[in-house]
Amino acid sequence: MPNNPLNSLNFSGGPGVLPESVLQQVQEAIRAVPEVGLSILGISHRSDWFAAVVAELEANIRSLMNLPADYHVLFLQGGATQQFSMLPMTLLAGQATPADYLHTGYWSGKALPEARRVGPVRIAWSGQPGGFRHLPDDAELDFQADAPYLHYVSNETVEGLQFHRVLGRDDVPRICDMSSDFLSAPGDFERFSLIYAHAQKNIGPAGVTVVVVKDALLKDAPDTLPGFLDYRAQIAAHSIYNTPPVFAIYVVLLVSRWLRDEIGGLAAMDQRNTEKSRLLYQALDDNNDFYLGRAAGKDRSKMNVAFNLPNPELEQEFIAAALAAGFSGLAGHRSIGGIRASLYNGLQLAAVEKLVDFMDQFKSRNR
Amino acid sequence: MPNNPLNSLNFSGGPGVLPESVLQQVQEAIRAVPEVGLSILGISHRSDWFAAVVAELEANIRSLMNLPADYHVLFLQGGATQQFSMLPMTLLAGQATPADYLHTGYWSGKALPEARRVGPVRIAWSGQPGGFRHLPDDAELDFQADAPYLHYVSNETVEGLQFHRVLGRDDVPRICDMSSDFLSAPGDFERFSLIYAHAQKNIGPAGVTVVVVKDALLKDAPDTLPGFLDYRAQIAAHSIYNTPPVFAIYVVLLVSRWLRDEIGGLAAMDQRNTEKSRLLYQALDDNNDFYLGRAAGKDRSKMNVAFNLPNPELEQEFIAAALAAGFSGLAGHRSIGGIRASLYNGLQLAAVEKLVDFMDQFKSRNR
């Protein structure tokens, strides 16, 4: 029996739901971290205990992602937004040839102006003309061999679009913003030179961002950047360049243990996530006279299911009725409206089953 | 009776002790924020509730500091370290005349190389030749009228030195890093153009930094900075430029309510802090054949009391015996060693009384 049943029906786009067993450990840690005896909020980031937290979390992520030894794992502040700048400051400053960027939705679009402040950018493909309802096929894509790097977003949180394959050329560094599907499924992560993901979707609270970076990518990085924006300075300091967000990192550690020990790894996590999204998309397909899925079938996200109702008034009624029934976080992103059900790792299948039942009832009452 | 008595004896230099009543509210909020019904870790930063959190926290800080209306209050990520860069990027880039910086200890020294990356810096005074054991008198100081700004650190956390007056010229913008004495006492805050302070000493967990900035300071700020490093972009977004550290900001709100409602404001807080530090310094002065205070008398910090024992072996024994007796966080900063007792807002007088008793006993056993 969960401590607070409302948490289990939280479909928020982020910060998102965390596993109940993690929340219970966090609650205890506010009073006292078991192996320290002090509140997690009052433990020094320079303690041996916290160094061990960072080391274990790094090892857990390496193991879950099956990362080769030449990758570093960092825990930074500033969200994916800081990466939008830190990345081009490291790899694009002074370059004559443009980096390839895909513009597939709201968040990949946010990365563009920050990159353009630093160096030349080429939009290799844009979904804007199509209203960001689908992703490119391979035939539509033409990547430049001399690009300093390719940047794309694996899962567009707002529009509910997800790439189910790795893009780009093997001779150009692949950089991927995996903020909203990080650690949700296995992948060929060694094909990427840099992956970044803020925590607040699948792996923790807002306030920490994981960066996985291949050592060779940084060999020509400038040494003129402010220290906190210098990947190599952060690597040298084992993510403790300055005071890190101790609490957020500790929660991510607890989630990584849950993924490993309670779920059984990324393949098992993907099975659960696939089943959750299959159930909800089936409900959309079975009721496509009332619930109108947003994403093209082949590009549907397992993490964020965006859909519309016949009109905005019904959508408002839906959100209000859902809230009254205990479901939260179902309003679509403010940029596009509609409904969005986010099915992050921490959300259980039972929550989706309840949502589908609610959708059936709502349709019966309102069609 | 506190939930966990060990928390009340936490003398850590940071992250530091938080008030017991705040910890209890945080523990409840991990399960459910009372007025929302969801875990604080799963509430959207775009919710009306969180907008109200930011608005109330800003109002509480304005009221506690008695800030005029032309000041903005921001909640950013990246710690004081990010401010070491953000500040010169905003005010020093392209300047021909140097900014005045005081070098009074470890942390003001950390600000120097980051400023020098951006523009010219003049060290208006350095305590390095004296081993950072005292602060300058007015007669030693000569500030430049044409400096873009003056930067100093009000309280040197590592060395236990604190300015008990406002420095600088009224015709040059004063910038102050108040990380380790923020909201610990009243002050003439309207004499500063920008004040910054990370939370993890007096007001919350690591992961959020408060910036108080006078509007006029930013009138010529460049508009070419990355958005997250642009004070004006952060002001326009009411600190929600991108996903902010929701949890850390909420905890700071709870601390601000505690300061206002349980303590009664900054004058009352200062009374308590003065009494705590008076008691501990008295113990040093009464036992100056064994406990050797580090800071010159007039520059003693009310927040961080740094001292030595006759030799490093005794210091290690002291720290171990203190830990066994329930006291934590008493090891001096790794850069200088020795002992440091941090007496942040959340620490109660009773904890200092117990520490002084312990020091008496330890001296009796070891002299």
pLDDT bucket at A367, cuts 50 / 70 / 90: confident
Per-residue three-class SS string for chain B: CCCCHHHHHECCCCCCCCCHHHHHHHHHHHHCCCCCCCCHHHCCCCCHHHHHHHHHHHHHHHHHHCCCCCEEEEEECCHHHHHHHHHHHHHCCCCCCCEEEEECCHHHHHHHHHHHCCCCEEEEEECHHHCCCCCCCHHHCCCCCCCCCEEEECEECCCCEECCCCCCCCCCCEEEECCCCCCCCCCCHHHCCEEEEECCCCCCCCCCEEEEEEHHHHCCCCCCCCHHHCHHHHHHCCCCCCCCCHHHHHHHHHHHHHHHHHHCCHHHHHHHHHHHHHHHHHHHHHCCCCCEECCCHHHECCCEEEEECCCHHHHHHHHHHHHHCCCECCECCCCCCCEEEECCCCCCHHHHHHHHHHHHHHHHHHC
Q: Quick one: closest CA in B to A2, which residue?
A: B31
Same domain, A182 and A288: no
Asked if the model's pLDDT at residue A4 lies above 80, the reply is: yes
Q: What is the pLDDT of residue A58?
A: 98
Residues B205/B251, Cβ–Cβ less than 8 Å = yes
Residue B6 is assigned to a structural domain of this protein: no
Q: Write down the mean pLDDT value for chain A.
A: 97
Q: What is the pLDDT of residue B2?
A: 61
* DSSP string of A247-315, one letter each residue: HHHHHHHHHHHIIIIII-SHHHHHHHHHHHHHHHHHHHHHTTTT-EE-S-GGGB-SSEEEEE-SSHHHH
Residue A64 is assigned to a structural domain of this protein: yes
Q: Which of B17, B39, B240 has the highest number of chain A CBs within 10 A, making it the mutation to test binding with A?
A: B39
Residue A365 in tokens: 């009452």
CB contacts of B17 in chain A (<8 Å) are 42
CB nearest B13 (choices: A41, A44, A79): A44
CATH number of the domain residue B341 falls in: 3.90.1150.10
Residues A246/A254, Cβ–Cβ less than 8 Å = no
Q: Within chain B, which residues score under 70 in pLDDT?
A: 1-2
The verdict on B241 touching A (C-beta cutoff 8 Å) is yes
Q: What is the pLDDT of residue B163?
A: 98
Residues A66/A92, Cβ–Cβ less than 8 Å = no
Active-site residue (options: A177, A181, A230, A270): A177
Same domain, A215 and A90: yes
Q: What is the pLDDT of residue B3?
A: 78
Active-site residue (options: B100, B107, B125, B258): B107
| Number of structural domains in chain B | 2
Phi, psi of A250 (to 5 degrees): -65, -40
Same domain, B164 and B89: yes
Asked if the model's pLDDT at residue A3 lies above 90, the reply is: no
Residues B266/B258, Cβ–Cβ less than 8 Å = no
pLDDT, one tens digit per residue, over B62-85 is 999 999 999 999 999 999 999 999
The mean pLDDT of A277-294, rounded to a whole number, is 98
Same domain, A115 and A243: yes
Residues B204/B252, Cβ–Cβ less than 8 Å = yes
Residue B128 is assigned to a structural domain of this protein: yes
The verdict on A21 touching B (C-beta cutoff 8 Å) is no
Same domain, B273 and B129: no
**Is there a contact between B44 and A248 if contact means CB atoms under 8 Å apart?**
no
Residue A310 is assigned to a structural domain of this protein: yes
CB contacts of A329 in chain B (<8 Å) are 42, 44
Task: Using a pLDDT cut of 70, give the percent of chain A over it.
Answer: 99
Phi, psi of B236 (to 5 degrees): -60, -30
Residue B13 is assigned to a structural domain of this protein: no
Q: What is the pLDDT of residue A2?
A: 61
Same domain, A282 and A249: no
The residues, ordered by sequence, that sit 6+ positions from A186 with a Cβ below 8 Å of its Cβ are: A66, A265, A266, A267, A270
Task: Using a pLDDT cut of 90, give the percent of chain A over it.
Answer: 98
Asked if the model's pLDDT at residue A1 lies above 50, the reply is: no
- Greatest alpha-carbon span in chain B: 63
Q: Using alpha carbons only, what angle is made at residue B197 by residues B112 and A206, rounded to the nearest 5 degrees? A: 110
Same domain, B175 and B27: yes
Helix (H, G, I), strand (E, B) or coil at A324: helix
The CA distance from A82 to the nearest CA of chain B, in Å, is 7
Burial class from Cβ neighbours inside 10 Å (0-12, 13-18, 19+) for residue B70 reads exposed
pTM above 0.90, yes or no: yes
Residue A5 is assigned to a structural domain of this protein: no
Last residue of a domain, one of A262, A281, A306: A262
Residues linked to residue A307 through DSSP beta bridges, in sequence order: A293, A339
pLDDT, one tens digit per residue, over A180-198 is 999 999 999 999 999 999 9
Residues B207/A77, Cβ–Cβ less than 8 Å = yes
Structural domain boundaries enclosing B355: 265-365
How far apart (Å, rounded) are the C-alpha atoms in residues A14 and A5? Answer: 18
Same domain, A335 and A226: no
Does the structure's ipTM exceed the value 0.95?
yes
The candidate with the shortest Cα–Cα distance to B250, out of B72, B71, B36, is B36
- Greatest alpha-carbon span in chain A: 63
Same domain, A122 and A162: yes
Last residue of a domain, one of A262, A291, A308: A262
**Is there a contact between A32 and B224 if contact means CB atoms under 8 Å apart?**
no
The verdict on B320 touching A (C-beta cutoff 8 Å) is no
**Is there a contact between A7 and B45 if contact means CB atoms under 8 Å apart?**
no
Give CA torsion, residues A20, A21, A23, A29, to 10 deg.
170
The candidate with the shortest Cα–Cα distance to A194, out of A300, A86, A270, is A86
Same domain, A199 and A225: yes
Residue B359 is assigned to a structural domain of this protein: yes
The mean pLDDT of A91-96, rounded to a whole number, is 97
Q: What is the pLDDT of residue B1?
A: 44
Residue type, A325: A
Same domain, B143 and B272: no
CB nearest B23 (choices: A39, A46, A227): A39
Q: What is the pLDDT of residue A360?
A: 98
Bridging pattern class, strands A209-214 and A194-198: antiparallel
Same domain, A306 and A339: yes
Residue A14 is assigned to a structural domain of this protein: no
Active site residue B49: no
Residue with tokens 């100056």: B288
Reported as half-sphere exposure (CB side, CA atoms, 13 A), residue A272 has a value of 19
The CA distance from B137 to the nearest CA of chain A, in Å, is 31
Question: Is the C-alpha dihedral spanning B271, B273, B276, B277 positive or negative?
Answer: negative
The residues, ordered by sequence, that sit 6+ positions from A253 with a Cβ below 8 Å of its Cβ are: A53, A56, A57, A60
Q: Quick one: closest CA in B to A242, which residue?
A: B81
Last residue of a domain, one of B213, B230, B262: B262
